[in-house]
Amino acid sequence: MAPGVPNSAIDAAVAANQLFNSGFANGELSCASLLASRSTCLPPISITAVPDGKLHAPYFMQWSLALEHQIGNALNLRAQYVATRAVNQPYETQVNGYQTVCPGCFAPFPYGQPIDPRFGPVTQLNTGANSHYNGLQLTADKRLAHGLQVLVNYTWSHCMDTVSNGGFLPFAAGAILSPLPGDLSRQYGPCDYDVRDNLTAQYVYQLPIKARNPLLARIVNGWQVSGTAFWHSGLPFSVLSAPYSADGNGIIQGSGPQYASVVPGVPVYQHNSISGITQPGTIQWLNPDAFVSTVDPSTGACAGGDSAANCQFGNLGRNALRGPDFVWSDLYLTKWFQLSEHVKLRIDGQFFNVFNHPNFGLPNVVYAGIPGKPSTQTGFGALSYTTSPPTGLLGVGLGGDSSPRMIAFQARLEF
């Protein structure tokens, strides 16, 4: 890679750039032209293009309707409908790709050569991706009364789009950003961050114990129980077909999701270990026999033979599957000791993930195999890592390292 080293990639790129600039200035033809000189013609170049030379400005719309009702002096109920729509969101496509497998295979990619052989990979910037969100938000807020305070929020929602997260950065590993050329509508499915159900709760309860005996009061008075609880349904993800690789052929200069197909009538989820497929230390989530890859991973060729009928992208859609739910609860025990009229000693016991419930991320291996050939399905659709919790003794955003139950005790003076 270093400049000046024989056969360096950097020096090769510099030389190619100089050759192109020199030939272009002298009016040399592209090597794709029959009239071009083989020794001085311009090689195909990679470019980033904008269709029609312009992009449309993205815009967002949002609307909502809320109803609120108070019961007595301590309880407030609220229901709110919230909707958003985003229009003309940006996305990228590789529009000069082609395939070398067979005529008619892997549509929409042409066979043998790109649409415009004067160019190499062509990244086209587009605007036209859309998204829709509809959500019902319910809130119950009980203010502190009789020693009890509770706040509960529940959201039932659905988000659908063609490209998530602005089209440039993936929301999660395996997220699909670039659609097949001219096939944006097939990308319409659940957003990468579509959580259908989301529940959060916070509570504080001051135990109503008021012992009068001085010694007994120091032990049983001044206790408080509080905590938080979180639950949300699983995130969506896609199942893909293995890429074609036999005899050095495949899709060249192109990108886009190569979806697998779903087998009709076969349950898509399987939570029991499967001999020869489920790897040690993982938990099976998907049923490997419910999905079939267009390409046989063991040969790199299309299952059933290379033909236009066999070599097509599968019938699954984007984000058609769901990962596991997330469940998390923290518990805090607090005790105050009155040391003097103006000084208190506070002791806390903090229990993060009090039930020690494991929360797993999305499956790592999402490339389908061939049903009946376990060697092509090894590790498919299994859960192998825990996900980051919303709270924790070590902080948030630290990944699975902070997901087991952790207990901490602390003491402090209040005056």
Which of the pair, 138 or 412, is modelled with greater confidence? 138
Predicted local confidence at residue 3, as pLDDT = 57
Distance in angstroms (rounded) separating the CA atoms of residues 227 and 153: 14
- Count CB-CB contacts under 10 A for residue 9: 11
Q: What is the pTM of this model?
A: 0.86
20 part of a folded domain: yes
Residue 173: pLDDT over 90: no
Residue 376: pLDDT over 70: yes
Q: pLDDT digit string (tens) for 249-276?
A: 999 999 889 999 999 999 999 999 999 9
Which of the pair, 343 or 172, is modelled with greater confidence? 343
Q: Which residues pair with 248 in a beta bridge?
A: none
257 part of a folded domain: no
* Span 173-193, average pLDDT: 87
4 part of a folded domain: yes
Q: Residue 38: pLDDT band by 50, 70, 90 thresholds?
A: confident
Q: pLDDT digit string (tens) for 7-37?
A: 676 777 777 777 777 777 777 777 777 777 8
* Whole-number percent of the chain with pLDDT over 70: 96
Q: pLDDT digit string (tens) for 71-124?
A: 998 999 999 999 999 999 999 899 999 999 999 999 999 999 999 888 889 999
Q: Residue 287: pLDDT band by 50, 70, 90 thresholds?
A: very high
260 part of a folded domain: no
70 part of a folded domain: no
Q: pLDDT digit string (tens) for 208-253?
A: 988 888 888 788 888 999 999 999 999 999 999 999 999 999 999 9
Looking at every residue in the chain, the average pLDDT score rounds to: 90
Q: Which of 247, 223, 266 is nearest to 368 (CA)?
A: 266
Lowest mean pLDDT among 37-41, 348-352, 375-379: 37-41
* Span 303-327, average pLDDT: 95
Structure tokens at 224: 């408080």
Residue appearing with tokens 């020096």: 11
Lowest mean pLDDT among 38-42, 55-59, 310-314, 384-388: 38-42
Predicted local confidence at residue 352, as pLDDT = 92
Q: pLDDT digit string (tens) for 291-310?
A: 999 999 999 999 999 999 99
266 phi and psi angles, rounded to 5 deg: -105, 125
Predicted local confidence at residue 2, as pLDDT = 55
* Span 347-370, average pLDDT: 94
Number of structural domains found in the chain:
1
Domain membership of residue 9 as a residue range: 1-43
Predicted local confidence at residue 9, as pLDDT = 67
17 part of a folded domain: yes
122 part of a folded domain: no
Cβ atoms of 98 and 252 within 8 Å: the answer is yes
Map the chain to HEC letters: CCCCCCCCHHHHHHHHHHHHHHHHHCCCCECCCCCCCCCCCECCEEEEECHHHCCCCCEEEEEEEEEEEEECCCEEEEEEEEEEEEEEEEEEEECCCEECCCCCCCCCCCECCCCCCCEEEEEEEEEEEEEEEEEEEEEEEEEEECCEEEEEEEEEEEEEECCCHHHCCCCCCCCCCCCCCCCHHHHCEECCCCCCEEEEEEEEEECCCCCCCHHHHHHHCCEEEEEEEEEECCCEECCECCCCCHHHCCEECCCCCCECEECCCCCCECCCCCCCCCCCCCEECECHHHEECCECCCCCCECCCCCCCCCCCCCCCCCCEECCCEEEEEEEEEEEEECCCCCEEEEEEEEECCCCCCCECCCCCCECCCCCCHHHCCCCCEECCECCCCCCCCCCCCHHHHCCCEEEEEEEEEC
Predicted local confidence at residue 196, as pLDDT = 97
Cβ atoms of 329 and 335 within 8 Å: the answer is no
